[in-house]
Amino acid sequence: MDGARMGWELSTAVVLFHEAVARKLGLSAVDHKALGVITRSGGLTAGALAGELGMNASAVTALVGRLERAGYARRVADPADRRRVLVEADPGNRPDLAGIFADLGADMNAFMSRYDARELATIADYVTRTVEVLRKRTEALQQSL
């Protein structure tokens, strides 16, 4: 299997998994994606979230409302600028989400534990660089709209 095909398979598998998780959590794919962005950022303003997702402010207000009502995120007033609202992930009271990733983590560990340190370093390097490339390409696509 060549590299491109491999990447394609991985991408499709990730996307389908992502959507299955969303459905299980009772979220749309967009909302789940937004939750991913929020979690990764460790908290960001509503406006920044709008920028990341490419949607306008009122759509984000609605989106954050849905996530908040479902218990996946919360709004926190920004102490530095009180016009701003910080959106943070709120994983505390959602054992279902934790459960899904515990299952996935167990499966991943089952084969990851068989790699030696050298192999793990190679994998880490590959993943890190792949993420870099994907981010760069994503940004390029967004620019060119």
Report the candidate in 10, 67, 1, 7 with the shortest Cα–Cα distance to residue 33: 67
Among 33, 66, 74, 94, binds its own copies (CB under 8 A): 33
* Rg (alpha carbons) of the chain, rounded to whole number: 18
> At its nearest, how many Å lie between DNA and the CB of residue 95?
22
Contact string 39-78 vs its own copies (x = CB under 8 A)? xx-------------x------------------------
Q: For residues 139 and 132, give the distance between their C-alpha atoms in angstroms, rounded to a whole number.
A: 11
Q: For residues 47 and 53, give the distance between their C-alpha atoms in angstroms, rounded to a whole number.
A: 10
Report the candidate in 93, 84, 82 with the shortest Cα–Cα distance to residue 64: 84
Residues of the shown chain interacting with DNA in the complex, contacts defined by CB under 7 A? 28, 30-31, 45-48, 50, 55-66, 75, 78, 81-85
- Binding partner of residue 55 among DNA, its own copies, none, CB under 5 to 8 Å per kind? DNA
* Residue with smaller CB distance to DNA, 37 or 55: 55
